[in-house]
Structure 1
Amino acid sequence: MSNFKSNPDDSNGPKTVGIMLDSVDTFFNSRAISDLIDACEERSIRPVFFFGGSLERSSSAGRYSYAYSLPNSKFIDALIVFPHSIAPYDPIEAVRTLIERIPDLPVYSFFGHLPAIWSIGPENSRAIQEIIHHLHADHAYTKFALLTGPDAPGTTSRERQLQIEKELHRIGITIPDEWIFPGTYSQHDGKTTAAQILKLDGDTPEVLICMNDQMAIGAVTEFQNHGISVPGDIAVVGFDDVEENSSLPTSFTSVNFPIWEMVSIMMDRVVSDLNGITSYFPEQIFRPAQFMHRESCGCSSWFDHADRQQGNFTPLELTRTPQRNLKKLSGLRRSLESIIDQCLQSGDYGAFTSFMQGIIQTLSRSGHLSDSFIDLFSTQWTSTLLKHNDKESQILLNSLFLDAFRLLIQTKQKSFRKIREQDLGSLAFYREGNELLSKKITIKDAVRGIGANLPILGIEECHLVFLNQHDPKKGDLRFSFYAGQYTEVYEEPYTRFPVEELLPKQQMKSGNPLAALPLAFNNYVYGYLVVSITDKHFSQFDMIQDLVSRIIDAAMGNEILSCHIETLTQNNSTLSRLSMIDEFTGLYNRRALDITGKSMFDQAVKSRQSCCFIFLDMDGLKKINDSWGHKEGDQAILSLAEILKASFRERDLVARYGGDEFVVLMINVQENVVIRTLERISAKLDSFNQTGAYPWTLSASWGFSMRTKEDVDKTFESLIEESDAILYQHKKKKRSSQ
């Protein structure tokens, strides 16, 4: 594969890497984001995170998925995707569609292997074998329940489930269908599943295996809330080994993934490719997952039965800590002994401090800064004092270990302090944001209010961009915020720039990591926030995204309602507002129909004018997509939209209702005019097909419903339903005649 070009505007400067994932609102994502920020900082790379939600949150794309249209080679040099995050049910197809429009960017897949893309992910089979062997052989469990994640071929959850069932089948165990519970990786799924297990009559499972720790934590919490002991009454096992497990009263059995190691390997490769040291080519790299069994499966602490005087660590018979874990712990213990001996011999005590700083940083990144390490550290402290029993050495050793222990506690406290500061700021911002929502504010009021409250969150830099109401490929900069400097709310004419550049270059003042947060509500995209990430303050981004979106939507609605209905019906150009235009076709969208169309209808009823609804639907779109691909299907929709634009009067409202469906509202019109208009559309479709410009045939069906001044019982909604029903009959007749 040929080399990809780097950023043409800054080929010799620091590189910028885009990172696509759904949100910060999962424990796994939070850990991965934190490690990516560290890895990028070490390599002088600027990360830009595009948080776009799930592409499969509903039958259409999630409202924040606009973020996935922003990465562009004009702003970033490479792209990292989390395929199972943005498309948990069909990661391969979703990512393929996303990256087709950016062929000049090298793309790297994290925690998910994709064809034709450089990918790195975990190898789970060994860890899953150890899970099943340990639960069955060491604890004698035979009754297993499973809480899955998104279940479809090629998904992480399906892969893990098949491996678990294979290992259970090997020892003659089958999970009953009613004990396999569906989930979506959320804590709520865990709570719901635990509640269902508690309601089971008769036989109940002895162990619940959850496909991620987030669900497992929810299950453990629900069990404990109902007085069910974990693991006394039921054992619980998860995947991910996230730090949040430490909040549980029972140490958590899980599968640890080497996130920091995988991030480091990936970022080294990104840097190497961008600097021309290597050439980009598809490759799949695996790193082994590690089974971490603790108390929630029925084990006791690794060090409960340690012979502390001899420094020999003998785990309980039931725990059978995997051999590689013992080797790691034994190696760490020997390293502690060695560095202490060196310090005592050389008198250079700074080496021990440096060693401990490095160990604590490494364990924090890998998620292993746990009770087990603290037990090991404390045990080694005692063992070292017994080995060096002269008073002078013991005073020195106590001083060194106390300093190291203080550093360990400070690391934990720093983490908790950040969480507390963010929580306090988030609560205040949420309160102020809801205060704005309670008022009838304008867009300008909304922008000012958002900017005024950003300092509460500890954000250092933030920019608000609205999509231009006439050209959604252009952005209007509405405010810029720099902590300790200024908040500037811009007036018209706004700074306008292509959104593929994300921000005007003059606004890029800091080198901090950035996040792009789309602002959308009910699938209407208004723009996006670009927020800097300082000291890994990103946990509140989901709240910011949701609250600011609702504020903008409310303000937009207030301004729409204040417009004069007469002006809107006479001049459709006034309707070309950001929230009223279908970005794909340039026609009005469903919201325009619901708000302005309803106003036009009410005005027609009030003035005793006739009106007509026409419901149109393209024929054979699925066949076009299946035979020639979705790009051709999109072109067919655009072509039909252009014909409709040219077929109706200036004052008619032509809206894309959704997908390949269109609705037209005509006011003060006679039925013969409607029929002639539809005949005109038929003629234009024939002319279009006769050109032979495309391999497919463009065709449409329609139904229309009239309301005269005498039809007092026909409402706005009933007319749309009636025209849709007539359309259905039209399509049915057309199919039967073919």
Structure 2
Amino acid sequence: MKKLLCDKSNRKTIAILAGNLNTYYDSFLSKSVKKATLERDINLLIMICGSMNTDMSYKYEYQSNIMYYMLSEECVDGLILLPSIIYNYSKKSELSNILQHYKKTPLVTVNEPVEGHPGILVDNSSGIRELVSHLFHEHGKRNFAFVGGPKNNTEAQIRLEGFLQGMKDVGLEVDPRAILPGDFWKTGGVKAVRQMEESGLPWPEVIVCSNDYAAFGVYEELKKRNITIPNDIAVTGFDNIAPARYSFPPLTSIEQPLEQVAYKAVELLEQIINGKSVAKKTVLPTRVVYRWSTACSRWNLKCSGKKVTDQLEPQIKFKDIELKNRVSTWLEQFKTVNLDEQSVRVTKEAEFIDLLYLTVSRHEDINFWDDLLFNLRYILDKYNKVDENFLTIMQCRIAEIRELFLGLTLAKNSTESYVQAKAVQRILSVFVKKDLKQEISDQIPRLGIKSFFMSMYPRPFNHKKDETWDIPKTSTFFCGYCRGEEITLPEKTLFHTRKLIPENISLPDEPMAFIMMAASFREAQFGYILMEASIEDEQVYTNLGIQISTAYRSILIFNEREQKTKELNSVLEQLRKSNLKLEEMSTHDSLTGLYNRRGFLLLGEKYHEMSLRNGTDYILFYADMDGLKAINDTWGHSEGDKAIRDFAKILKSTIRDTDIIARLGGDEFTVCTPNTRSDSAQVIENRLFENIEKYNINSGNQWKMDFSIGHVIHSDQPKLSFFEKMSLADERLYNRKRSKKAKTI
């Protein structure tokens, strides 16, 4: 069966069901999986699925959940699954539903064991135990608190167990009130600090957080209370995301080997696809990265978290072979050089600076040098060659280069942000589908996205949280391009949704990675977007997808309003012609000047049809003059006619000019008020009663005017015809009339 991105070489395609690429964990893991798949000549789909059934980060995040069910064996050969994002904030039964959906597809899980499937796990316990031991023995800490994660998350549970075991290892008891719930977001850390303050317990010496985002929330709340870190309270995190290094103070954290996790997951999945047996569980170690949030320094061996080694080869692989060779040569020379000689020191420092600049120019990881210098310090110390001044100078040079690197990065990001903002502005400015297609083809390639495909369902549909997904079986290709070539297909060309893109679209014969997300707006699902993962900043994809979906929704609204305007104008034109005909056919009552029964029916039916078409409401009133016969019998028919004319005038003064009034015959009247809210019925009746009362006071007549009234609201009886509504209003009128008579007896 044909797979997405299939080519003549029979290249495999796998997918990772990720959460939200705006988080460091999902972003870095997805990038690492992309790197691993492309190196292995495998295609990749990165599915932005969102956390299951949650609105924590965004009210309508659950709309991304459609991506969990979007794939099948028709378009992928295997899956990498992150179970935690499925039941962090939802029921574990959701995982069973997804596993059932992919029961025929080879599958590897990451960081969560799932029965029947191989899993790549991280040792979430030992790092926390080491951290507790270090803070107890080396820093004399005794009072600890812990901020947890989502209650359904296995990793969060294991990290808590590791903390409790670590406390037990050093002989400390834990007050249950010092174990605080969290959610793996800053909000959890914020709430935890507030809960600590309200608990009545003294502030802890250390707050151990189950992830870095929670620690940032703790930072925020402690600073509001003028509690300093680490002098008053030490804080630790987990995951060692990029902001941990640059937070203030830099955050001590436990690093997961995400790149190793990604490579191992791809390796195992490829083996399963090829019919090979693999281990059911692979556990990878973590590493504590000590920083100033626990008063630790990288130059302190006890706080290093590193193993000192004589191995002088770089532990981080450089992509650039020339740079790697030059670094290796520079390191090897330290075995024989004499740093006491000034010329040697100057030469080695100059070489070091050259290598740093080369690292930046070749887009390598500048953080590599921090780890390398740590090992170099202890190796030089071992050979009695250590020179503190020399090492300090190199450390300063690294800081200078990092500042330069950050400056270059900021400048690059500023330029890219301007290009992105301009592209988004152009995309959001259009109101026609043709123009949106053109702007996508013009603007998105400028952002570095090499290929783009957007497909739409035959009809948009609304989806509510917790509803079962019913994905349309077919889709239409909306627009796209591939490697600079715009794709043109006949409009409304249908293809099977499970294929993801039409089969007649040709792709390059090379491994490709795509990011796929839902095209949705609030409750509405329109279709889906595929973008080639060809730029580093993955947040751009999410932002673009949201903006393009918003633009598409605006176009639909604009088109819908245009269509309704055309229909309204058409109806109004029909009404104008009908009015002319009604005039010609003498459709007015000669006594009052109001419409007669025939005129009212013709005009009322038009308003009824317009309400059904446009979804507007109207109210139909039936009124009957009480005591008209007595007026005729007592004061003559001329007074009776006067009463009828005056009642008609009162009706006209009570309602709007756009409303329809008719005298159906004798003492019977009817009123239709289009585009009226349902709660206006009682207001109109009350106004009519007030006007009648004023008339009786000021008219000077020997008789008093009185009436009974009933009404029907269109939206309460949407299935009834206009004529049936008239009958119902008449029935309600006479029910009131009978009730009035009963009260007077």
Q: TM-score, normalised by structure 2?
A: 0.63
How is 1:5-24 mapped onto 2 (pairs within 5 angstroms)?
12-24=9-21
Q: In structure 2, what is the Cα distance between the partners aligned to 1:139 and 1:107?
A: 45
The corresponding residue for 1:466 is 456
Distance change in 2, residues 1:117/1:202 (3 Å): closer
The corresponding residue for 1:294 is 291
The corresponding residue for 1:429 is 420
Q: In structure 1, what is the Cα distance between the partners aligned to 2:53 and 2:95?
A: 12
Distance change in 2, residues 1:40/1:248 (3 Å): same
Superposed CA deviations along residues 646-669 of structure 1, whole A, max 9, x for unmatched, are: xxxxxx99xxxxxxxxx9952528
Secondary structure of the structure 2 residue equivalent to 1:63: helix
Deviation at 1:379, TM superposition (A): 6.9
Q: In structure 2, what is the Cα distance between the partners aligned to 1:709 and 1:442?
A: 48
The corresponding residue for 1:633 is none
Distance change in 2, residues 1:419/1:457 (3 Å): farther
The corresponding residue for 2:211 is 212
Superposed CA deviations along residues 459-487 of structure 1, whole A, max 9, x for unmatched, are: 2221211112299322222221346x355
Q: In structure 2, what is the Cα distance between the partners aligned to 1:412 and 1:17?
A: 39
Deviation at 1:11, TM superposition (A): 8.5
Deviation at 1:79, TM superposition (A): 0.9
The corresponding residue for 2:559 is 559
How is 1:32-47 mapped onto 2 (pairs within 5 angstroms)?
32-47=29-44
How is 1:206-355 mapped onto 2 (pairs within 5 angstroms)?
206-221=205-220, 223-224=222-223, 227-276=226-275, 278-279=276-277, 283-299=280-296, 301-304=297-300, 315-316=301-302, 319=303, 321=304, 325-327=306-308, 329-332=309-312, 340=332
Deviation at 1:597, TM superposition (A): 7.6
Distance change in 2, residues 1:459/1:6 (3 Å): closer
Which is further off, 462-471 or 206-215? 462-471
Q: In structure 2, what is the Cα distance between the partners aligned to 1:222 and 1:176?
A: 21
The corresponding residue for 1:602 is 617
Q: In structure 1, what is the Cα distance between the partners aligned to 2:35 and 2:237?
A: 26
Distance change in 2, residues 1:498/1:5 (3 Å): closer
What percentage of aligned pairs have identical amino acids? 17
Decide whether the 8 Å contact of 2:42 with 2:511 is kept in 1. Answer: no
The corresponding residue for 1:502 is 500
Number of positions where the alignment pairs a residue of Structure 1 with one of Structure 2: 558
Secondary structure of the structure 2 residue equivalent to 1:548: helix
Secondary structure of the structure 1 residue equivalent to 2:283: strand
How is 1:487-566 mapped onto 2 (pairs within 5 angstroms)?
487=486, 493-505=491-503, 506-509=505-508, 511-564=511-564
Secondary structure of the structure 1 residue equivalent to 2:122: strand
Superposed CA deviations along residues 263-306 of structure 1, whole A, max 9, x for unmatched, are: 22222222222334x147x812212223333321232x2425xx
| 1:668 maps to amino acid | S
Secondary structure of the structure 2 residue equivalent to 1:468: strand
Distance change in 2, residues 1:136/1:208 (3 Å): same
The corresponding residue for 2:600 is none
Distance change in 2, residues 1:334/1:443 (3 Å): closer
Superposed CA deviations along residues 213-269 of structure 1, whole A, max 9, x for unmatched, are: 122234335545665322112111111122332212434321122222222222222
Deviation at 1:501, TM superposition (A): 1.3
Q: In structure 1, what is the Cα distance between the partners aligned to 2:717 and 2:365?
A: 58
Distance change in 2, residues 1:406/1:42 (3 Å): farther
Deviation at 1:707, TM superposition (A): 8.9
The corresponding residue for 2:576 is none
Q: In structure 1, what is the Cα distance between the partners aligned to 2:437 and 2:262?
A: 37
Distance change in 2, residues 1:419/1:286 (3 Å): farther
Deviation at 1:374, TM superposition (A): 3.9
Deviation at 1:82, TM superposition (A): 1.4
Which is further off, 35-44 or 166-175? 166-175
Secondary structure of the structure 2 residue equivalent to 1:262: helix
Structure 2, unpaired ranges of 5+: 316-327, 338-347, 461-470, 571-609, 621-658, 661-671, 676-713, 734-745
| 1:19 maps to amino acid | I
| 2:494 maps to amino acid | R
Q: In structure 1, what is the Cα distance between the partners aligned to 2:84 and 2:567?
A: 48
Deviation at 1:169, TM superposition (A): 5.2
Decide whether the 8 Å contact of 1:422 with 1:537 is kept in 2. Answer: no
Deviation at 1:147, TM superposition (A): 2.3
Decide whether the 8 Å contact of 1:36 with 1:263 is kept in 2. Answer: yes
How is 1:376-525 mapped onto 2 (pairs within 5 angstroms)?
376-377=375-376, 386=385, 421-422=412-413, 424-426=415-417, 428-430=419-421, 433=424, 437=428, 441-469=431-459, 472-482=472-482, 485-487=484-486, 493-505=491-503, 506-509=505-508, 511-525=511-525
Structure 1, unpaired ranges of 5+: 305-314, 389-396, 571-594, 612-651, 654-662, 673-705, 713-738
Q: In structure 2, what is the Cα distance between the partners aligned to 1:468 and 1:139?
A: 64
Q: In structure 2, what is the Cα distance between the partners aligned to 1:407 and 1:374?
A: 10
Q: In structure 1, what is the Cα distance between the partners aligned to 2:131 and 2:495?
A: 54
* Residue 55 of structure 1 pairs with residue 46 of structure 2: no
Superposed CA deviations along residues 296-352 of structure 1, whole A, max 9, x for unmatched, are: 1232x2425xxxxxxxxxx25xx3x55xx324x45458997996169989xxx9xx9
Q: In structure 2, what is the Cα distance between the partners aligned to 1:479 and 1:461?
A: 11
Which is further off, 267-276 or 464-473? 464-473
Q: In structure 2, what is the Cα distance between the partners aligned to 1:243 and 1:297?
A: 18
Q: TM-score, normalised by structure 1?
A: 0.63
* Residue 668 of structure 1 pairs with residue 721 of structure 2: yes
Deviation at 1:22, TM superposition (A): 0.9
Q: In structure 2, what is the Cα distance between the partners aligned to 1:194 and 1:710?
A: 66
Decide whether the 8 Å contact of 1:88 with 1:150 is kept in 2. Answer: yes
| 1:183 maps to amino acid | G
How is 1:194-205 mapped onto 2 (pairs within 5 angstroms)?
194=193, 203-205=202-204
Q: In structure 2, what is the Cα distance between the partners aligned to 1:109 and 1:294?
A: 31
Q: In structure 1, what is the Cα distance between the partners aligned to 2:554 and 2:731?
A: 37
| 1:495 maps to amino acid | T
Greater Rg by CA = 2
Q: In structure 1, what is the Cα distance between the partners aligned to 2:731 and 2:398?
A: 83
Measured on the aligned residues, the alpha-carbon RMSD in Å equals 5.0
Deviation at 1:132, TM superposition (A): 2.2
How is 1:605-644 mapped onto 2 (pairs within 5 angstroms)?
608=672
